[in-house]
Amino acid sequence: MRPVDVVRVAALARVEGEGGVTVRMDGGRVTDVELRVFEPPRFFEAFLRGRAAAEAPDLTARICGICPVAYQLSACAAVEHATGVEVPDTVRRLRRLLYCGEWIQSHALHVHLLHAPDYLGCEGVSDLSAAHPGLVARGLRLKQTGNRVLETVGGRSVHPVTVRVGGFHALPSLAAVKALRPVLAKALDDALATVRLVSGFDVPDLEHPHEYLALRSGTGYPMETGDVVTSGGSAFPVTDYGQHVVEEQVAHSHALHARLDGQRPFVVGPLARYALNADRLTGAAAGAAREAGLGAVCRNPYRSIVVRAVETVYAVEEAQRIVDDWDGEGPAFVDVPFGEGRGTLTGHGATEAPRGVLYHRYTLADDGTITDAVIVPPTSQNLASIEADLRTVAEADPDLPFEEITRRCEAMVRAYDPCISCATHCVTVLPSGEDSDHEKAGG
Amino acid sequence: MSRPTLAVWKFASCDGCQLTLLNCEDELTDLLRALDVAYFPEATRAASPGPFDISLVEGSITTPADAERIVEVRRLSRCLVTIGACATSGGIQALRNTADVDEYRRLVYPRPDLVAVLDRSTPIATHVTVDVELPGCPVDRHQLLEVIDALLHDRRPRLPTYGVCVECRRAEAACVLVSRGLACLGPVTRAGCGALCPRHGRGCYGCFGPQEAANPSALSDRLVAEGTPRRDVVHLFRTVTAGAEPFRREAARQEEARQEEADRS
């Protein structure tokens, strides 16, 4: 046994954004775990002050190119809540269709290109496409379907242009929406094949103890709306998010960690959504979950790849339902009025991004100028749990070769599909000088 | 014959331009055959020490460490291509350039002393020589493939220098500025998106940055004359390409005019 060891992953590969892992061990015991973030802060919450509420969707989309719809729709939800505006059913359904596109695109990317290589002994996209061309082709087809839905409803897949507070700048043509049908039918076959493949992956045994937090709404699997529920039995409206989910600074990592009710680390994302909404899966998605042996709750973070695959089936089916019912009629948006002498307004909005609950809160002046903005992305809420799981993984078998512990730690982080670009605003970069191994990456 | 090596680098950005590369689903397999992906942390663990034939650089320079890293990236790259609004103009994070960064730090972080950031977000070309610049927030997939194809065949990429208005006319889209009175940056913004916003019922908001020989003053004078509040005109030029010089200058000019108006009243 080595006396004092440090497992250091210089730069985490196959995650969105740039980060690294440090695990310090002393005599087989982990003394310190750190998910380090190299992403420089971009100050969104600061520069939103003074901007018009109507600009929030386009500006906050730029926090993340992988899940811009999540930012746009959480921003819309918060501004609409502040003004008491209810969007028409047409808008609600079209938003859900847009979100289905993002889930399919994001999950297909993560499952096939970023996460699967860990279970197939590959380094990444190049050797994976040589060794498993069929899997890569299927993943790309699915991802393309997601992008096709995003382009049809949103104009483009990265930073869609049609979303506005109150609805959409323009509705897609009926023909364009109906043209999605054959594409989605093919995608359903692909998505089901993916569930069968990934449910057969040999994943390490691990049960993490964390509390799960997700949205839950009156009908359907949660996406663009819902109240908050947790596996510990808590339930509260989105307006109370800030009272329950508190971000605090912890000494060992210079990072802000979100805690539930001031103490418990918790998890958002596919595992949490599934645990709290499995009964809402229908049709082929429910069947796929059953065949994959997921049970009512899945507590193994490595199996999140299976839940993502099942959620992809759900998103494809849900998109099919919306497309089938779509008649192209209805208003594209409703007016969201400002300047009516109502004084200061506060609005809360939360939606289920592919990586979990994304919460926005805005304080608005009477004329709609943003005076304060709070954005809590999914990944920052998972940081405390990721670090706890890293500790478990590193301590499980401390005599393993260094390279293997490193690999397992990396795979553990990737199982959460962290988006470090998103998390940045609430994770402090290390003091200058300490991130020097980043400069060496690739050089 | 060995394949040319490709490296993809990330600085301050949202990942959307790198994702656009992965969004070339139909072409990705051919790309992987034509290029040796030697460094692309978002897509693979494998990492070569370089040097690299082609480096795609996403993101802007916002920290002292990144200002050093880009010099090293340049040293390792035969051809350096900047992709996206962040890399070519400083991106949305260049909104800090007209603000007090110390105040920003205090607003967002409980321990502002730990945040080592520069006061300004600057494009890659401010720091090193850039061989090809590809604007857009995000970049256009077809333009990205055109650049890679051109580099593989040792020819100059064909990229438009004209404006979004030309794309609108080609698409036979009604002018939203004239017909609906919407504030639209189309007359001063570089083509590349296919006039997406005007075709979807809204004004262009400048994702591809200023076109060559843009005349933003003429546009904003007209917008103000037709009733757009000056604050909105300032904001129109200050979004994802706020750091591009013609847009930066015009926003500053409008801000000054707004201040003068406020002082008079």
* Distance of alpha carbon B207 from alpha carbon B217, whole angstroms: 18
Q: Is some CB atom of chain B closer than 8 A to the CB atom of A235? A: no
Subunit contact A141:B239, Cβ cutoff 8 A: no
Q: Which candidate from A147, A158, A164 shows the least CB-CB separation from B138?
A: A158
CATH code assigned to B5-152 = 3.40.50.700
How confident is the model over A288-335, as pLDDT tens digits? 999 999 999 999 999 999 999 999 999 999 999 999 999 988 899 999
* Distance of alpha carbon A378 from alpha carbon A395, whole angstroms: 26
The per-residue pLDDT of chain B, averaged, comes to 93
Q: Is some CB atom of chain B closer than 8 A to the CB atom of A131? A: no
Measure in Å the smallest separation between the Cα of A200 and chain B Cα atoms: 23
* Distance of alpha carbon A368 from alpha carbon A370, whole angstroms: 6
Q: Which candidate from A40, A125, A155 shows the least CB-CB separation from B200?
A: A155
User: Which residue of chain A is at minimal alpha-carbon distance from B76?
Assistant: A443
* pLDDT band with cut points at 50, 70 and 90 for residue B1: low
Give the strand pairing for A370-376 and B5-10.
Answer: unpaired
Determine the pLDDT at residue B107.
75
| Spans of chain A, pLDDT less than 70 | 1-5, 7-11, 38, 249-256, 421-443
How confident is the model over B199-228, as pLDDT tens digits? 999 999 999 999 988 999 999 999 999 999
* pLDDT band with cut points at 50, 70 and 90 for residue B29: confident
Q: Which residue has the tokens 């919407």?
A: B182
DSSP lists the bridge partners of residue B103 as: none
Angle between helices B245-264 and B216-225 (to 10 degrees): 40
* Distance of alpha carbon B184 from alpha carbon B187, whole angstroms: 8
Specify the DSSP element, H or E, that contains A310.
helix A304-325
Write the CA distances from A132 to A8, A121, A124, A137, A188, integer angstroms.
Answer: 29, 11, 11, 9, 20
- A429 contact residues in B (CB cutoff 8 A): 63, 114-117
End-to-end CA distance of chain A: 32
Q: Which residues of B184-210 are buried (b: 16+ CB within 10 A; e: fewer)?
A: bbbbbbbbbbbbbbbbbbbbbbbbbbb
How confident is the model over B100-125, as pLDDT tens digits? 888 887 777 666 666 678 999 999 99
Measure in Å the smallest separation between the Cα of A385 and chain B Cα atoms: 21
* Distance of alpha carbon A400 from alpha carbon A406, whole angstroms: 10
Subunit contact B45:A170, Cβ cutoff 8 A: no
Q: How many CB atoms lie within 10 A of CB B180?
A: 13
Task: Give pTM, 2 decimals.
Answer: 0.94
Give the strand pairing for A356-364 and A370-376.
Answer: antiparallel
Determine the pLDDT at residue A105.
98
- A419 contact residues in B (CB cutoff 8 A): 15
User: Which residue of chain B is at minimal alpha-carbon distance from A59?
Assistant: B239
The SS3 of residue B246 is helix
> What are φ and ψ of residue A6, in 5° steps?
-125, 120
* pLDDT band with cut points at 50, 70 and 90 for residue B35: very high
Determine the pLDDT at residue A9.
65
Q: How many CB atoms lie within 10 A of CB B265?
A: 5
Domain range summary for chain B, segments of one domain joined by + = 5-152, 164-264
Determine the pLDDT at residue A428.
33
Per the CB < 8 A criterion, the answer to whether B241 and B221 are in contact is: no
Q: Which residues contact A10 (CB under 8 A, 6 or more apart)?
A: A20, A437, A438, A440, A441
Which is higher by pLDDT, B48 or A354?
A354
Q: Which residues contact A141 (CB under 8 A, 6 or more apart)?
A: A186, A187, A190, B25
Subunit contact A159:B117, Cβ cutoff 8 A: no
User: Which residue of chain A is at minimal alpha-carbon distance from B60?
Assistant: A40
HEC assignment per residue over A218-250: CCCCCCCCCEEEECCCCEECHHHHHHHEEEEEC
Q: How many CB atoms lie within 10 A of CB A399?
A: 9
Subunit contact B23:A65, Cβ cutoff 8 A: no
Contacts across the A-B interface (CB distance below 8 Å) = 225
Per the CB < 8 A criterion, the answer to whether A268 and A213 are in contact is: yes
* Distance of alpha carbon B208 from alpha carbon B206, whole angstroms: 6
Is this complex's ipTM strictly greater than 0.90? yes
User: Which residue of chain B is at minimal alpha-carbon distance from A128?
Assistant: B44
Subunit contact B207:A256, Cβ cutoff 8 A: no
Q: Which residues contact A342 (CB under 8 A, 6 or more apart)?
A: A366
- A136 contact residues in B (CB cutoff 8 A): 29
Q: Does residue B48 have a pLDDT over 90?
A: no
Determine the pLDDT at residue B113.
66
Subunit contact B96:A432, Cβ cutoff 8 A: no
End-to-end CA distance of chain B: 72
Per the CB < 8 A criterion, the answer to whether A140 and A128 are in contact is: no
Q: Does residue B191 have a pLDDT over 50?
A: yes
Q: Which candidate from B28, B43, B137 shows the least CB-CB separation from A159?
A: B137
Q: Which candidate from B14, B64, B103 shows the least CB-CB separation from A62?
A: B14
- A159 contact residues in B (CB cutoff 8 A): 16, 137-138, 207
Q: Which candidate from A51, A109, A170 shows the least CB-CB separation from B200?
A: A170
Determine the pLDDT at residue A443.
25
Q: What is A49-70 written as a DSSP string?
A: TTSBGGGHHHHHHTT-SSSHHH
Q: Which candidate from A62, A439, A442 shows the least CB-CB separation from B49?
A: A442
Subunit contact B43:A443, Cβ cutoff 8 A: no
What tokens does A330 get? 């209805």
What tokens does A8 get? 């250091």
DSSP classification of residue A112: I
Q: How many CB atoms lie within 10 A of CB A234?
A: 16
Subunit contact A42:B92, Cβ cutoff 8 A: yes
Q: Is some CB atom of chain B closer than 8 A to the CB atom of A417? A: no
Q: Which residue has the tokens 């992305």?
A: A377
- B62 contact residues in A (CB cutoff 8 A): 40-42
Q: Which candidate from B23, B41, B47 shows the least CB-CB separation from A157?
A: B23
* Distance of alpha carbon A429 from alpha carbon B162, whole angstroms: 40
Q: Which candidate from A159, A161, A435 shows the least CB-CB separation from B202?
A: A161
- A157 contact residues in B (CB cutoff 8 A): 23
